[in-house]
Amino acid sequence: MPVMLCCVIVMAVANHTNKEKTLGDLSFSELTGYRAFRVEILKKCESNRRHDRYFYSDREEDAHPFLALREQILQLRRWVREHAQAMLTEAPNSEPYVRRVLRVPALVPLVPSERSGLKRLGQLFVPLRLTWPRVQSVIINVKTLEGRTFLYENIYKHVLRIRGFGHNEYYCPSIDAALRYLGPPALSEVKDLGMMDPRWVQLASRFGLVKISKVMPYARYGVQRLDGELAWILFCEKVVTSIAELDWLAYTEDRSYRRSEATAATRHIIRRMIRLMLVHGIAREQIANIFRYRITAFNPDQLSLNLNTLSAAGSVDPTAVFVATRDLMWSGEPDIWRYVVNEIGALTSADIGRFKQLLQSSSTLSIPLIQLLKTLGGNVDNLSQCQRLILAISRRSDGIVPLCDIRLLAGSPYSLSIDQIAQCTEYLTIPNKLQEYLQVLAIHGFGNASGIIAFQACYKNTSSSNLNVWLGMIELRGKGQSLEAVAEWVGQAAKEGHIDAYKYLKESIGLPEFLHLQRAEPIVRFGRGILSFLVNQKGLTSIQAIRDWYFRAHGVNKLRHWGELDASYNLLMEDAYNRNNFAFVASNYGCIRSAVQDRVVQQIGRRPYHADETTKDAYDKSYLELEIKENSKLLPILPIVLAETGGILLDSVLRHAWEPPQARQCHLAALTPLIDQLLSGGGPSNSQLGELESEAVAMLYKSTVQSVSSAWSQVCGRQSQLAGLNLSPHYPMRWDHAIRQLQAPLERSSLLALGHAKAYAGKFLPYSSEHIFDACKYLRAKRIRQSASDPWSLAAHLGVLIAAAHKDTLISEWVSRDLDATVHMPQEGADVAERLEQLEKMFSTTLPDALDRHVDGFVRRFSEADATFLAARLIGDEPSGHGGHAQLHKALIETRNTVMAVCQRWIVRERKKFSKDRSDIGATDLNAILTKHPASFFAKHAADLCTRDNTNMWDEARHAHLVVFDPKQRRLAGMALVYFEPIVELHADRNCLIIRAINPMDDMLATHTTSSIVDAFFDVAIQIAKDNGMAAVAFPAHCGMHLLSNLSSVEKDIEKRYIKPSITLPYRRVNEAVTESPRDWRREPRLISGRFYAYESGQLPVNSLYALWPGDLTN
């Protein structure tokens, strides 16, 4: 229909035209007809464009109007090309308009001539070397791609037909460029004609390359060459002027560039950039590298201003500056460039290159700040070290430039140098406390420059008054200790905030040495009251005696009580001490308080909050007197109750404590067997619970009486679903202790060295902008030559090794996730032993192996000169005939050998500090029970699972709970969810055991190693599967839903030790036996595709599982 309409218009106009007129000599009436023709077609083009969801416009919103006209012309040509054949057939008079649109000369036919069948047959045998020049002579006179495409598709593809070439129905720009610029291809080259970049073909022809064999190394798609469109711009702008200079373009452009998205406006920006660089004298070879950088960030306006800044500065070589700063020449803010050149005085390319951190910023930098630093002795060399400080000050929320604070640090009595002031970022970005803070340091003897730098670590989170208290606690005890170790202790102690406990220990048993302060860290958290009980009532009159008790006591991880102990708490502590089980002290005390409060309220009612002050004061006095009276009545009874209940108090039990002994005994007699049943995975099974039963279940499973009572009827009666399984009454588990006693403090300076190494590694990472001279400032070769005994002196060398291996996944994860926590771990925290084991593996295998894989790539990042410089700073200058890269490679190997040996010796020393007492390094024996008893449903409440109230899961016969109890502490230790169902990829109908949601209780996780907990759960799961002839044991992929555990440390352990080493299960036929040993599957779990529902059936599907134990997979 569109073609017919255009033909009608053409025929109507054609009666008034002179058919003998040439294309360039149309009359007014003919031009009028052509315009009508063009308007009608453009309407059709606009309609097509609106319906084309993939249409891309070659103009921007604010582009020049001529670009829109150019787009219209292209649309017009494409439409005519597609419909020209129909138009010429239906309206031959349209030929002049078609020729005008497609720019086809009048002498070039638009339709093929009639030929006999014999001639067409003969055409097949005409060699390409004859047909190619004939077609080429016509094609080069057609001025549009659309016109050439039309002619090829309708006439010349039959002329050029040879082998596979003539069957190519698509006349692509590559073939077009070959026909226009190159000679006839050989038969072997025909297949490559469509695989060339047309712009590269055109560019090569300008340098006289017309043979395809000569052009292909430049033009073939996929070779390491710049995109042809960009190369053409460089040629047009006379950046590339010879064949030899084409080698400058042997690289690929920035990945953000998409040729199809390069608009005319983008090309205009590129040309402006190149012209500016040429005008200012930047070498053409360097300009040819401009496309290595993000084209979308090109900014000719900023480039112009920055180049003008360099020109105004005098004898600055713009080429050398471009080499040193790269894309910062146009991405850097002009104000920052002026700041670096004019204010700082960086007037050489090397000096300017040292200030990349500033040039990369967009902050407003303070001129008075740099002027002050220069008056204090700042020059280009040491001001480059101040970049982080300058940027931090520019980002202060209050906008104040702390000139007075800088003068304070530089002046007497502190006298910090410019290099030291550069390290004072924390001091100079937090306002209004520096002077007082420094005065406190000076009072306690830490007012010199080294002390000020060391105690900056405490500045952010410690007030001056707190600092005074903690330094007063140290007094002369810090003598002989490193400043870093003292500052680290102050920071940790201030963070924990147990000053009252430290004061009590100092007053009661004495803390004569800094060593005693360090060794008191794990025990001060109990508070003054509990420490007083241990010292005064139990005779533990030394730090070592209290530590010995701490490492052998059960359930003390969450034991806290600040202030003095009242009689009730003191009695509970006495009972717990005798039982060596402190797990229920806090909950028991809460029961006492609640029971006494209820008794008092029953007698005098609740406090009259809306009454006058006199009435409320009278009530408070009565309440206090009555509370003391009721407490005194209860105290003699508590030992009897605790003896009967095994050290556990419940509200319903204490409520009857004031009753006569016989009535009280009836209630007490029911509690102990009930707790015993619950600890064996059983408990009440009737459909309704009594008050005592509800409280016992809620207490053991850390739920509430209301939750237990409301859900009980929905979860009881499922015990028979496990009747078909061969289950033991319980399965033994052992969880290794994580908290182990140290006989001497950890080398805090060596731990801090790891933090310094991390910071130093950042100077050598790919995104670092530091100049090699500044990056190597604290790297001293003589330290590698000395017989260093700890990592502190080799922290910078270790940092270089970490940077060299940073691309390794294990190294990058360790640096980002674990390193900081390791540096600042407490002296005897829950995971000290585990972290030292991690460090031992890191320095013995992980880091050396990562260096073997990545050291070559690290070395290649540096120029020969920079590599030579870094090698010299690592191990010193050595006469060598090798290049810089070879020297650096050798230096890194020598550095690795020395640093790893030092670090391994340090770890051996640290591990020897652990107590050799086997009771200290042992494990906790636990009982694991697979159960569907209704009480065990509430284990999900204790673990705080998101499915804790989901009873639909509990209804399914495939589902059960694996609950873990500590028989000595008589408490829940952990739980997991277990499923029994087939995994078709392993066995069509035999059940597998699938385990997920492994959740130890928080305090158990804090005192036991994560790896031993995970392994213990998997061991029990495998034992159950073995006993019941199951096909396999597996766990699901976590899918980002915490399906493996609610606890991140458990999830990370499973990921690290089981998911990462896993391998895909190879294809196996049905009933084919497994040839690998179970140990192989445990070491490298098999990844399996299979459908598993993590909630009730149909909910939360998981499509991948990891099998860690194979059973009998045959029939």
**What is the rounded average pLDDT of the residues 293-306?**
94
| pLDDT (tens digit per residue) in 316-356 | 899 999 999 999 999 999 999 999 999 999 999 999 999 99
* pLDDT attached to residue 9: 44
Residue 835 confidence class, pLDDT cut points 50, 70, 90: confident
pLDDT recorded at residue 113: 74
Pairwise CA distance, residues 872 & 867, whole Å: 9
Q: Which of 249-258, 797-806, 854-863, 926-935 is the least confident region?
A: 249-258
pLDDT-based confidence at 13, cuts 50/70/90?
Answer: very low
Q: Which residues fall within 8 angstroms of residue 700, CB to CB, at 6 or more apart?
A: 675, 678, 679, 935, 971, 972
Per-residue model confidence (pLDDT) at position 60 = 47
Confidence of residue 677 (pLDDT cuts 50, 70, 90): very high
Superfamily holding 923-1110: Gcn5-related N-acetyltransferase (GNAT) (3.40.630.30)
Is 845 or 952 the better-scoring residue by pLDDT?
Answer: 952
**CA-CA-CA-CA dihedral for 349, 351, 354, 359, to nearest 10:** -70
Please give the residue that has the higher pLDDT: either 785 or 388.
388
Confidence (pLDDT) at 912: 85
Parse the chain into domains and list their residue ranges: 1-102, 114-221, 224-296, 299-362, 748-889, 923-1110
Residues of the chain above pLDDT 90, percent: 48
Angle at 846 between CA 844 and CA 851, to 5 degrees: 100
Q: What is the pTM of this model?
A: 0.74
d(CA 482, CA 631) in angstroms, rounded, equals 52
Buried b (16+ CB within 10 A) or exposed e, 1080-1115: ebbebbbbbebebbbbbeeeeebebbbbbbbbebee
287-293, Cβ contacts within 8 angstroms, sequence gap of 24 or more: 287/234, 287/239, 288/234, 288/239, 288/240, 288/245, 288/248, 288/249, 289/248, 289/251, 291/226, 291/227, 291/230, 291/251, 291/253, 291/254, 291/257, 292/251, 292/253, 292/254, 293/254, 293/326, 293/327
Tell me what the pLDDT averaged over the chain comes to. 86
For 234-248, 474-488, 708-722, 777-791, which range has the lowest pLDDT when averaged over its residues? 777-791
Residue-wise pLDDT for 994-1003, tens only, equals: 999 999 998 8
Torsional sign, CA 691, 693, 697, 699: positive
For position 19, what pLDDT does the model report? 39
Is the pLDDT confidence value at 23 over 50? no
Q: What is the Cα–Cα distance from 896 to 902, expressed in whole angstroms? A: 10
Please state, in angstroms and rounded to a whole number, the distance separating the CA atoms of residues 466 and 242. Answer: 73
Q: Where are the alpha helices (DSSP H) in 781-883?
A: 781-785, 795-804, 809-813, 819-823, 832-841, 847-860, 864-875
The dihedral sign for the CA sequence 876, 880, 884, 887: negative
Does 576 have pLDDT greater than 90? yes
Averaged pLDDT, 163-176: 67
Average pLDDT over residues 182-208: 89
Q: What is the pLDDT of residues 1061-1081, one digit of tens each?
A: 999 887 665 556 666 778 889
Best-predicted range by mean pLDDT (16-25, 597-606, 956-965): 956-965
* Residue whose C-alpha is closest to residue 1011's, from 996, 997, 1026, 1000: 1000
961 pLDDT higher than 80: yes
Question: Are residues 199 and 228 in contact, defined by beta-carbon separation less than 8 angstroms?
Answer: yes
Q: Cβ atoms within 10 A of the Cβ of 430, count?
A: 15
Give per-residue burial for 775-807: e unless 16+ CB within 10 Å, then b. Answer: bbbebbbebbeeebebbbbbbbbbbbbbbbbbe
Given a cut of 80, whether residue 431 has pLDDT beyond it is: no
The CB-side HSE value for 286 (13 A sphere, CA atoms) comes to: 18
Segment 844-867 mean pLDDT: 90
* Position 720 pLDDT exceeds 90: yes
The tens digit of pLDDT for each residue in 59-74 reads 444 555 666 777 788 8
Which pair of structure tokens corresponds to residue 477?
Answer: 């005890």
pLDDT band at 953 (very low <50, low <70, confident <90, very high): very high
Confidence category of residue 879, pLDDT binned at 50, 70, 90: low
Indicate whether 16 pLDDT > 80.
no
